[in-house]
Amino acid sequence: MPIIGGRGIAAALIAAAPLLAQTVPVKEHTLSNGMRLLLVERHDKPTVATAWIVRAGSANERPGMTGVAHLFEHMMFKGSKTIGTTNIQRDLAINAEQDKIQAEIRKEESILRQKELNGEIADMRDAKARSPRHQQLVEQMEKLVKEQQELLVKDEFSKIYTQAGGTGLNAFTYQDATCYHQTVPANRLELWAWMESDRLYQPVFREFYKERDVVGEERRMRTDSTPTGKFEETFEAMVWMAHPYHWPVIGWPSDVSSLTREQANEFFATYYAPNNLTAVLVGDFKSSEAIALCERYFGRIPANPKGVPEIITLEPKQLAEKRMMAEAETTPSAQIVYKAVSAGHKDAPALDVLSSVLNGRSGRLQKSLVEGQKVATRVRASMQGMKYGGTFVFHGTASADQKPEAVEQAIYREIEKIQKEGITEQELQKAKNQAQADSFRRLEDNMGLTIQLAIADATTGYQAFLDEPQKTEAVTREDVQRVAKDYLVKETRSVAIYTRKGGAAPTDPELAALPAEAQGMVKAQLGRLEQVKDPAQLKAIVGQLEGQAGQVPAEAKPVIDYMIKKVRERIAKLEAK
Amino acid sequence: MLSRIALSALMGATVLSAQTIPDRPEKIAVKPITFQVPKVKDARIKLKNGITAYLVPDPAGQPLVNLTLLIKGGSYLDPAGKEGASLLMGQLLRTGGTTKTPAEKLDEKVDFLAANLSSGMGETSANLNLNILGSKLNEGLGLLMEVLTEPTFQQDRLDLAKKNVRQQIERRNDDTTSIERYQQGLLVRGEKHYTNRFTTAASLEAITRDDLKALHARLLTPANLAVAVSGNFDRKAMEKLLNETLGSLKAGKDAKASPKVPAPEHTLQPGIYVCEKDVNQGRVTLSFPGLRQIDADWPAVTVMNHILGGGGFTSRMMKKIRSDEGLAYSVGSYFSPGPFYQGTFTDLFQTKVPTVAYGIRLALAEMERIKKEPVTEEELKVTKGAIIDGFPDTFGTKAVVAQVFLNMENTGLPETYYETLRDRINAVTIADVQRVAQKYLTPEKAAILVVGGKAADLEAGDKDHPGKLSEVAKLPVVKLPLRDPLTMKVVK
């Protein structure tokens, strides 16, 4: 059995752990057109985890066309000139006709947009607001969609992989990049090269306008219909003032529903060039053969000699704390976001150690806020380094009898403690021990490693991923104290305070346990009693109720008992004053 | 290994000889590969007290050991009025301290060892999991044994855990996903089944340390335990180590083998159920009784469902509802495997409120079609390829292999189940697919549940997707009230 990067020592119970941490035997190669390859051979099972990443995400968009990177990701599964249709000529002709009709529809929409702005209609997307011509165009469009569907080999791209035993075919888009991945049987690596190079070489973005609707549903599912989705989106937009991280990856609703195929074409031509891509393979293959295969298949795609447009905007220094007060259907909580550093910044490892010291069951936040002060039920900190900036985030859920602002203040006190006194040697060593063990854990799953290498290469270069354990090992207590002082400062933070919509916690369980028909009556009676301010009068009412309790049928007794209890609570309150 | 060497040589030859790119992917030469399904009997040993252990060593892997201990038992054993006790017992094993090590010290020790030591108890089993650098295994396993055999369920930790559970149950109506989960469970398995005996504010309040101790004492016998270990270790040495630790465990005086998991006695009432919530998307599930994974029809049902709604982008439901109509992001169907009683079929998707009725009609039409018309040769071929050629990835890591073995132990799957699965899938015919579609797809008996939107808007449909919700099936429309999150009683 071949052992790659082997640590197998059969005689000992446990192979001795190397002093520092993991080593990953990554083979790096650049194709003639500038596309990068990262290869890790592992021969213990006949599969290959594959991914390729393009350095284009939502940060490469601009206002008016936000969401195009993500919609584009969906379009990459729609096939090519070869895959996905029985009649490519007619298919392309229909696409062109659809685009013409869409251009006409956009003229109608632009009238509706103005009407919405003028307050004449509530929603420009409401089908009832369409003019007769607009409606006619929509129907023509629908006819062309149906005609194209007749020619489609429906989802052929997915079908070919599925039949070949490919698993986990998917992709994801984030601010900095977009990544396409799946695992294939080891004898299907050439199929992977064929399919991936084909969709990069001659893609056809058919079914574009239906896919826009799919993204609309994705948005309703992920953002609109979840308790905090829309608030998180709002908050993120508040944190980032100028940088494109300001807008959501899925795009603003107005933009997504107006995206055009022309915009997708332009995005593809600009960013999806081989010199802007890295492919990663981890699994059962021979590197020399994989390189030859990739040269043959991906090598046919011409480079973009202009290169890709740089992201110029740097987030200006934040001058003042920002706050968002949100009422949502959720447990009261506080979120604090400090502007910190990008993933490749020299201070990122120290900030990582800082988050490690704060987190975990034995971390400062749990010990102090949850177990000690009991102000919160759950608190987490994390360092989120991206390509063009980063944040250091705290999230704390308030205990039932506490306000989220109290959690917020308690977090500040923990920060100040570290700023003043630093961390202990034991805490530093614990964080390093955890980083070392995690540096092995993250290598166990082939697809996990593939995606981490892809993301690292798109963000900082993959070498940074390999060097991470050494950099963590070099962090000192002074470093941690310094970064806490430098970055966790009032002026650069944004705070979101969540309180439960409708105010109070859900219904009193004892009330809800009463017969349903009695609940309304009980509430009304207790409401009236709120007006009574004299304890003596209330005591008389208790007396009456107690008298009744002996006479009513058994099923009504809990109702009376509940009333008595509540009146007594009120008496106690009045007397306490 | 021989076949792989041969394969590599052939692949090399292909690369050298074929410099052109075939015009279709089907033209790429493919050499078969052999994949030996990991065998249960190669991994299984008995410890000296009868506990079954599955050892899956990975000598070329990372220097880590991953151990999962399974304890049979779960919330189905919760005493009446103490619903939530098993859940808390499971959490407190790890977080509540031991007679040797108070909770605070244990937290510090585990974190300093950089171990992941966790515990939890669900409806039918508890897990105690340890992931640790191999060099620290002895220490880690020592802590795991303490946690398993002498937990103290510290009062302060119990109070904390109760506070957290209380917050979780308060959130039951915040999210349509959570509402859907409990409403569907109630519709399918009825109020009385253990899966619907909810933790309430009152039951949570009633749980004491003594309850947790009693539950623990009841479960702690070798008869309820099984263990799986994967990672970088020597098999013989691990066998010795396990015998010295878990293998030395004796049944306590109050311990009992956990009884059979009870099946629901409820009969699902067909209907269109609407649970209102102020959001712009409706979550739709369509449920009716299914079968069990151990049933002979399971492979044919797997193939049929893959074509209908289980096969991701290649399934008919996805093509129709998402890709053709743009009505949903996630669409799918599945048969739950049981495993302790008859499972359930569920079709699910989420779409904006006015297109819910239209979407349901499309889903029902796909069920009708697969019952009426034979599926195509090609659909069958794609599905078999997906399951058979995709099989090696089912066993993604050694930890997964060990987990699969442990699950088989808990659910009673025969030990050759995975070894023979590919042959059984391969034997499925077009006629089989139609036969099981007709037998198991019974939408006339479905509980169609919609969570989200207002009933009137769901009924109205929209201009581009007409049709009323009440007319999607010949079933009564029933408005389903929310439950009070703290009592799980109906809110009027």
List chain A domain ranges.
Answer: 28-84+153-300, 322-500, 509-576
In this structure, the number of other CB atoms found within 10 A of the CB of residue B35 comes to 21
Same-fold call for B40-248 versus B271-479? yes
Instruction: Select the residue of A10, A331, A512 nearest B484 (Cβ to Cβ).
Output: A512
Q: What is the mean pLDDT of chain A?
A: 91
- How far apart CA B336 and CA B293 sit, in angstroms, is 8
| Crossing angle for the helix pair A208-219 and A88-117, to the nearest 10 degrees | 50
Ramachandran angles phi, psi of A5, nearest 5°: 60, 40
Q: What is the pLDDT of residues A376-390, one digit of tens each?
A: 999 999 999 999 999
pLDDT at A19 > cutoff 60: no
Q: Per the structure block, which two tokens stand in for B141?
A: 């396993």
The whole-number pLDDT of residue A2 equals 33
- How far apart CA A447 and CA A442 sit, in angstroms, is 10
For chain B, how big is the Rg over CA atoms in Å? Answer: 26
Rounded to an integer, the average pLDDT of A238-260 is: 96
Whole-Å CA distances, B356 to A214, A245, B328, B331, B352: 14, 34, 10, 13, 7
CB A248 within 8 A of CB A71: no
Does the distance separating the beta carbons of A399 and B382 come in below 8 Å? no
Tell me how close the Cα of B336 comes to any Cα of chain A, in angstroms. Answer: 20
CB B180 within 8 A of CB B256: no
Three-state secondary structure string covering A88-142: HHHHHHHHHHHHHHHHHHHHHHHHHHHHHHCCCCCCCCCHHHCCHHHHHHHHHHH
Of the CATH numbers 3.40.50.300, 1.10.10.60, 3.40.50.11390, 3.30.830.10, which one belongs to the domain with range A322-500? 3.30.830.10
Of the CATH numbers 3.30.830.10, 2.170.150.70, 3.20.20.10, 3.90.1180.10, which one belongs to the domain with range B40-248? 3.30.830.10
- How far apart CA A161 and CA A194 sit, in angstroms, is 11
In this structure, the number of other CB atoms found within 10 A of the CB of residue B1 comes to 9
Tell me how close the Cα of B259 comes to any Cα of chain A, in angstroms. Answer: 32
Percent of chain A at pLDDT > 90 equals 81
Q: What is the pLDDT of residues B161-175, one digit of tens each?
A: 999 999 999 999 999
Instruction: Select the residue of A165, A445, A507 nearest B396 (Cβ to Cβ).
Output: A445
Complex-level ipTM: 0.92
Rounded to an integer, the average pLDDT of B267-290 is: 97
Whole-Å CA distances, A36 to A48, A277, A412, A500, B154: 18, 6, 44, 49, 55
Interface test with A, best of B3, B23, B26, B28 (most A CBs within 10 A): B28
Percent of chain B at pLDDT > 90 equals 90
- Chain A contact set for B326 (CB, 8 A): 209-214, 216-217
In this structure, the number of other CB atoms found within 10 A of the CB of residue A290 comes to 25
The whole-number pLDDT of residue B19 equals 67
Question: Which of A2-6, A183-187, B449-453 shows the lowest mean pLDDT across its residues?
Answer: A2-6
Q: Tell me the helices (H) and strands (E) count for chain A, helix number first.
A: 21, 11
Tell me how close the Cα of A324 comes to any Cα of chain B, in angstroms. Answer: 20
Interface test with A, best of B21, B164, B179, B243 (most A CBs within 10 A): B21
Q: Per the structure block, which two tokens stand in for B170?
A: 């308060």
The whole-number pLDDT of residue B12 equals 40
Q: What is the pLDDT of residues A47-71, one digit of tens each?
A: 999 999 999 999 999 999 999 999 9
The whole-number pLDDT of residue A1 equals 29
CB proximity list for A333: less than 8 A, separation 6 or greater: A395, A396, A397, A398, A404, A407, A497, A498
Element (H, E) at A471: helix A463-473
The whole-number pLDDT of residue A378 equals 97
Written out in words, the top-level CATH class of the domain with range B271-479 is alpha beta
Task: Find residue A268's DSSP bridge partners.
Answer: none
* Domain residue spans of chain B: 1-34, 40-248, 271-479
Please report which confidence band the pLDDT of residue A17 belongs to, taking 50, 70 and 90 as the band edges. very low
Q: What is the pLDDT of residues B356-411, one digit of tens each?
A: 999 999 999 999 999 999 999 999 999 999 999 999 888 888 999 999 999 998 88
- Strands of the sheet containing A277-283, edge to edge, are A27-30, A36-41, A277-283, A47-54, A178-185, A167-173
Instruction: Select the residue of B4, B63, B111 nearest A17 (Cβ to Cβ).
Output: B63
Q: SS3 of A484, please?
A: helix
Please report which confidence band the pLDDT of residue A524 belongs to, taking 50, 70 and 90 as the band edges. low
The whole-number pLDDT of residue A11 equals 31
The whole-number pLDDT of residue A22 equals 66
* Pairing verdict, β B225-231 and B52-57: parallel
Three-state secondary structure string covering B54-118: EEEECCCCCCEEEEEEEEECCHHHCCCCCCCHHHHHHHHHHHCCECCCCHHHHHHHHHHCCCEEE
pLDDT at B15 > cutoff 60: no
Rounded to an integer, the average pLDDT of B111-124 is: 97
- Chain A contact set for B391 (CB, 8 A): 165
pLDDT at B6 > cutoff 60: no
- How far apart CA A218 and CA B322 sit, in angstroms, is 11
Q: What is the pLDDT of residues B82-111, one digit of tens each?
A: 999 999 999 999 999 999 999 999 999 999
* Pairing verdict, β A333-339 and A167-173: unpaired
Element (H, E) at B26: none
**CATH homologous superfamily of A28-84+153-300:** Metalloenzyme, LuxS/M16 peptidase-like (3.30.830.10)
- Chain B contact set for A211 (CB, 8 A): 326
Burial of B24 (0-12, 13-18, 19+ CB in 10 A): exposed
Same-fold call for A28-84+153-300 versus A322-500? yes
Please report which confidence band the pLDDT of residue A570 belongs to, taking 50, 70 and 90 as the band edges. confident
Residues recorded for chain A: 577
Tell whether A440 lies on the interface with B, counting CB pairs under 8 A. Answer: yes
Please report which confidence band the pLDDT of residue B126 belongs to, taking 50, 70 and 90 as the band edges. very high
pLDDT at B248 > cutoff 90: yes
CB B428 within 8 A of CB B379: no
Buried (b) or exposed (e) across B334-370, using 16+ Cβ within 10 A? bbbbbbbeebbbbbbbbbbbbbbbbbbbbbbebbeeb
